[in-house]
Amino acid sequence: MKNRKINGTQFEGMVRNGLAYLRQREKEVNKLNVFPVPDGDTGTNMRLTLENGIEYAKSNEVMAHYLKTLSEGMLLGARGNSGVILSQFFKGMQLELARCVVAGPGELRNALIRGYRNAYGAVVKPVEGTILTVFREGIEHIRPQISRATAIEDLLLMYIAEMKKTLAYTPELLPVLKESGVIDSGGQGFIYIVEGMLGYLYGDIVKDDKPAAKSINAPVQSVDFSLFNEYSKFTDGYCMEFILQLLKSGSYIQLFDLDRYIEDIGVYGNSLVVVREGSRVKVHIYTLRPEKVIALSRQYGEFLTFKLENMQLQHNEVIKEETYSRKLPHKKLAIVSVVNGVGLKTLFEELGADVVICCGETMNASSQEFVDAFNRIDADDIVVFPNNKNVILAAQQAAQLHGGDNIHILPSRSIAEGYFAVAMDVPDNDNKYRINSMRSGLRDVTTLIETTASRDYSYHDLTCRQGEEIVLMNGEIVSVNKNWLECLIEAMRLVPDIDDAETCVVFSGEGVSEDELDELSERLEEEFPMLEAEIIDGGQKLYRFIIGLS
């Protein structure tokens, strides 16, 4: 029997099934991304955003109550442009259904309309041929066909059918899609979510073997692995716990003397606890030499259980929690910056950034991370550098969620733009003048990014294949080559007025060798003798080099 109304519990089941449906097709959605740079793929951003909403939400039979917490979680956890737009769509639905205990076809129709309108309003310059168009035409084309007698299942069937028609047409609306031979990835991702939601009502529950990532309120892991990296000091050692089964066969030492074992193992650590029960020995020890403990113990038998934890990582986590719970001293102007490399984090802190959000591989900071940063800061004005075009919307959304009218989002599209703006020597007695100067400084920077293409790409007269080296100039691919150095030099020659450039900063990525740095320095000096390049160890992932010219 079809549903004429749905409550909050049913809607929770629908969105959970929608998430599972999307998760199974996440890679497929990611492959639809036009640009061959893996910096925030659409499917991943949408999945993370919806996951966060579901983990944050509180189950409730009342539709309005469940949708309110779901929307809040999605807004806080939104990542990338697609995630922000998706969260704004659900926010619109929540606003429309704010008083609904259950939702019928009329209420759901109005919610879908309010959803797309809210999403359009969140984007400064909406582009047709994207997920926004899929949102809008999907419901507007079936709007007159929906009545009180329409079953929820029939409404969603019509909605999906119309969205698929629009999705197929997106290449005609957006030339870059047509030249690449793909449809809009965000639109496809949303359709998968709605198909999963409809499947739930039909009893088609998606078996999802992958554990959902935890929300901001429930971390994925007990500690943050990024807190221990190549720059870390290791002084706290390991916590080892194991149960050793003594063995009488083979070449194991048959005579196990507990006191002698405790004396021998105590050389390698402290906080030692050793208990023998029959032929089994339970051990706890803090040690800097786990390999010695293992070798000593295996002379007598083999491990039944074994746990080894990096206590330095845990210690760093404690320091991080204490730091992030501490309010910063008051100042006239504070700076928040986003980076994706440990070297870059150190650099921006040295330049005066008050909070540096160090992201993972895709550099897609969530709105919650920005809100947390704002909460720590006590300043007359806060300036935010997203340093990635795919993070700007999340920063803007965070500013709205925080509610402070003293937050200024300067839309830096790259680390290079943010670096030049933060490093500007500007008098610090006038906030308005400083902010305007930094905003103007962004416009004078040319950014080159060298990386490896993650997928085939073709647009206008330029084509690259997966695995080839590419260089982007201010976000547009300008050079393709099998050799990274030649690719970069070709792109440098295309920079307008390159001979007039006064400053060149090169951020080297994770894994770049000294030989590669020497090669680059020699070629830059040979090709552009008047250009003095400063090379900085950025440690960023994905990009071999980020170059800023001003």
Question: Looking at the predicted structure, is the pLDDT value of residue 38 above 60?
Answer: no
Q: Write down the pLDDT at residue 225.
A: 63
Return the higher-pLDDT residue of 358 and 257. 257
How sure is the predictor about 180, in pLDDT bands with cuts at 50, 70 and 90?
Answer: confident
Residues 130 and 190 occupy one common structural domain: yes
Residue-level pLDDT at 319: 58
**Highest-pLDDT range among 25-29, 99-103, 421-425, 455-459:** 99-103
Task: Provide the domain limits for residue 470.
Answer: 446-549
State mean pLDDT over 399-414.
90
Domain assignment present for 210:
no
* Residue 114 domain-assigned (yes or no): yes
Question: Which CATH number do you get for residue 488?
Answer: 3.30.1180
> Do 59 and 166 belong to one domain?
yes
Q: Average pLDDT, stretch 81-106?
A: 94
Residues 422 and 280 in one domain: no
pLDDT grade for 204, boundaries at 50, 70 and 90: very high
Higher pLDDT, 541 or 543: 543
The CATH number linked to 172 is 1.25.40.340
Q: In this model, does residue 232 exceed pLDDT 70?
A: yes
Residue range 132-154, pLDDT digits in tens: 999 999 999 999 999 999 999 99
pLDDT band at 235 (very low <50, low <70, confident <90, very high): confident
Is the confidence at residue 421, as pLDDT, over 70? yes
Q: Report yes or no on 26 lying in a domain.
A: yes
Residue 437 CB: number of other CB atoms within 10 A?
15
Q: Which of 399, 422, 443 is the last residue of a domain?
A: 443
* Pair 193, 148 in one domain: yes
Q: What is the rounded average pLDDT of the residues 157-183? A: 91
pLDDT band at 222 (very low <50, low <70, confident <90, very high): very low
331 and 462 assigned to the same domain: no
Cβ-based neighbours of 263, under 8 Å, separated by 6 or more: none
Q: Which residue has the higher pLDDT, 228 or 183?
A: 183
Residue bearing the bigger pLDDT, 538 or 162: 162
Please report whether residue 304 resides in a domain: yes
Choose one of 428, 443, 458: the last residue of a domain: 443
Same domain for 54 and 177:
yes
Asked if residue 212 belongs to a domain, the reply is no
Per-residue pLDDT band at 2 (split at 50, 70, 90): very high
Q: Using the predicted structure, report yes or no on whether residue 491 has a pLDDT greater than 50.
A: yes
φ, ψ (nearest 5 deg) of residue 298: -75, -5
If asked whether residues 297 and 416 sit together in one domain, one would say no
Average pLDDT over residues 448-458: 88
Share of the chain above pLDDT 70, in %: 92
Same structural domain, 10 and 134? yes
pLDDT at 303 exceeding the cut of 70: yes
With 80 as the cut, is the pLDDT of residue 213 above it? no
Burial of 325 (0-12, 13-18, 19+ CB in 10 A): exposed
The pLDDT score that the predictor gives to residue 334 is: 93
What pLDDT is stored for residue 343 in this prediction? 83
Backbone angles phi, psi at 146, to 5 degrees: -95, 125
Q: How far is CA 457 from CA 45, 439, 462, 472, 480, in A?
A: 21, 32, 8, 13, 11
Most confident of 186-200, 250-264, 445-459: 186-200
Question: Do 192 and 90 share a structural domain?
Answer: yes
Of 30-39, 272-281, 407-416, where does mean pLDDT reach its minimum?
A: 30-39
Whether 128 is covered by a domain: the verdict is: yes
Q: Which range has the worst mean pLDDT, 51-55, 421-425, 485-489?
A: 421-425
The span from the CA of 540 to the CA of 236, in Å, is 27
Report the chain's mean pLDDT, rounded to a whole number.
Answer: 88
pLDDT single digits (tens) 337-382? 999 877 888 889 998 899 999 876 555 888 988 998 998 899 999 9
What is the pLDDT averaged over residues 45-51?
93
Closest to 459 measured CA to CA, from 169, 161, 175: 175
DSSP 8-state assignment for residue 472: E
Mean pLDDT calculated for residue range 464-477 = 90
Distance CA 367, CA 370 (A): 5
What pLDDT, on a 0 to 100 scale, did the predictor assign at position 128?
Answer: 93
Distance CA 93, CA 67 (A): 8
Asked if the model's pLDDT at residue 296 lies above 90, the reply is: yes
Q: Is residue 1 part of a domain?
A: no
Tell me, what CATH number does 283's domain have? Answer: 3.30.70
pLDDT average, residue stretch 452-479: 87
For residue 406, what is the domain's CATH number? Answer: 3.40.50.510
Number of domains in the chain: 4
Residue that finishes a domain, picked among 157, 179, 201: 201
On whether residue 305 sits in a domain, the answer given is yes
Alpha helix (H) ranges present in 174-213?
175-180, 185-201
Would you state the pLDDT for residue 13?
96
170 and 265 assigned to the same domain: no
Same structural domain, 302 and 354? no
Report the pLDDT value the prediction gives residue 216, as an integer from 0 to 100. 38
For residue 218, is pLDDT > 60?
Answer: no
Which has more confidence, 36 or 130? 130
- Please check whether residue 191 is in contact with residue 29, taking contact to mean a CB–CB distance below 8 angstroms: no
Q: 174 and 99, same structural domain?
A: yes
Query: Does the pLDDT at position 251 exceed 50?
Result: yes
Please name every residue paired with 512 in a beta bridge, in sequence order, or none if there are none.
Answer: none
pLDDT winner (highest mean) among 387-391, 421-425, 461-465, 467-471:
467-471
CA distances from 277 to 258, 299, 451 (A): 11, 18, 58
Give pLDDT, residue 360.
64
